[in-house]
Structure 1
C-alpha cells in the first residue's frame, strides 16, 4: 500500500512544496544551521584583511562547505545528528514511493490528472480489435484510479462518431465512474473513416466553459492531413489540451502530439504497450483453432507492428 502522503493528484512541483526538504527544514543549509554555526571572519583595518578568530580552533569539529569555502563549527550532540539521519531517511523513502507511484499503473499512461473538471476525448483511429480492447482496459484503470478521486465533473466523448457518454459534465461518484466504465465497454469497434472527426470532437470539448482541461487520448498514428487541421483549429484553445499517445509507431505522431500540448500549455504522455501477452494469446489461439483466418490475423498483427517491444525473462527484446 502507498503512503497517503504519496497519492495526492497534484503536480510534482506542488507536491514538493508540501513534502520537500526545505518545507521540513531538512535542506543542507537548514540542517547546518541547526547543528552548528558558521566560523566567521572579520575585517581588521590595521592589517587590511579578513581574519578568522581562533578561539574555536580544536574546540569543535569543523566542516568545510566545498561550494563556497565556508567553515562551520559543529556543536550538535549525537542524538540530534541521529534525529536528522532518521528524518532524511524517511524523506528519501517518501520520495522513492512518490516516484514509483507517479510512474505506475494509470499514471504511467495519463500522468497525474491534476484538474477537478475535465473532458476526455478518445480517438481510436484505425486500431485493430485486440488493441481496441487494450485501450479500454487502460482507460478503465484511469477511471477507477484517478477520475474516481476528482472533486467535480467529467465528460467522455469519442472522436470516431462524436458519441458522448454524457451531454454535460456530471459529478464524480462511484455510480458515475461505474456508468462511464460500462459505457466504455459498450462502444462498438468502428475504425475512423473521417479525418475531421477528431478536430470536431476537440472543438466541442473546448467550447464547454465549465471544464478546466481536455485530455486527448490518441491511439496509433495521426494522419498527416489531420495533424494540420488540428493545429489550425485548436492550437488557440482557451484550455490546456493534454495529449496522450497510445502505441504511436511513427516519430512524426509523437512530435505532433507534443507540439499540440505545448501550444495549449498542456502536458504530453506517451505509452507503448508491452505486446508479450497479446502475442502469446494470438499464437495459442492460432495453434488451437488452426484456421487460415486465425493465422492470417496473427500475421497481420505482426506485420502491422513493425517494431514490437516485449519482455522475456526480464530482458527487453525488439522485433523489427
Structure 2
C-alpha cells in the first residue's frame, strides 16, 4: 500500500539557536534558543533588565548579536537583514507617532515611505483608520490622542508594510484597563489574519490571555518555556474550597476526608487539588457519601504570577521546557 504523501512542516516564523549578546562585561543574552510558529502569539517575560528589549532589538535587526543563528520569516538575520526588515513590523515601548501630524497624515507618511502611490496610500490609510476605530480622530493632531488611541495608531502604522511578523514591546504599558483590553482584541485580530506576534509585557495576565507559548527570561537564559497551562503545572499547589450549609456537615466532611483545612466561621474546607474535572468530581463524590450539603465550590490553582516568581527565583539558571 502506498504511503500517503505528508506535506512538509510549515516554516517557523522565528528560530534562534545559541543567541548571545553582551554589553561590556554584562551578558544580556546567554545562548537562548527560540522556535516560534507562524500565526501565533509568543510572549517573552522577565524581570526588568532581563534582556527582553535586547532580544526584540536583535530579532528586528536593530542590534547585532554576538553569536547565534537566527532566521526571521525564513530569512537569515545576519546575511539578509533587508529581507527581514521587509517582513516585520515593530512597535516599541515608546510610540513612533509624530505629534505634529494628524492620525491620517502619520499613516500617509508611512505609506509614502513604503513607496505607495498617492491613491494607494489614501486607500490604505482610510482602511486602517476605520479598522482601528480612529475615524473621528483621523484629522486631529496626534498630540490630542489618548494613550490607547496613540497605541492603536502606532500599530496601524506598523501594518502599513503588511508585515508577516510584528514585534510588540510592552505595547500596553501605561494604558488604562479598557484600552488594554482593546489592544488585546487587536492582537487577536492580527493573529486571526495569519500574522505572528512576538510580545513582551510586564503584565502576566496579558501573556496568559494572549500567548500560545510563553518563555521566561532571567539572568540571560530562558528558565521556563511552554503554553500557559504547561507553565502553571510547573508550580506545585492549588486547592479546592468547599463551602458547607452547616457546621455539622463541615465537621463530617473534614473527618471523612482526613485532609484539608477547615474554617468553622466561614464553613469552608480547603482541600489540596489540581482543579481537574476528575479530581473535583472524585472529591464531591467522597463528600456526598458523608451526606454533607455543599453550597458552593471554588478552585484556586497556580497562575502565571506563581510561575514567574518561582522560576525567576531559581538559584541556578537551568532551563525548564515543557512540551
Q: Relative contact order (C-alpha < 8 Å, sep 6+): which is higher?
A: 2
Q: Name the TM-score class by shorter chain.
A: 0.3 to 0.5
Give TM-score scaled by structure 1 length.
Answer: 0.33
More strand by share: 2
Relative to the length of structure 2, the TM-score reads 0.33
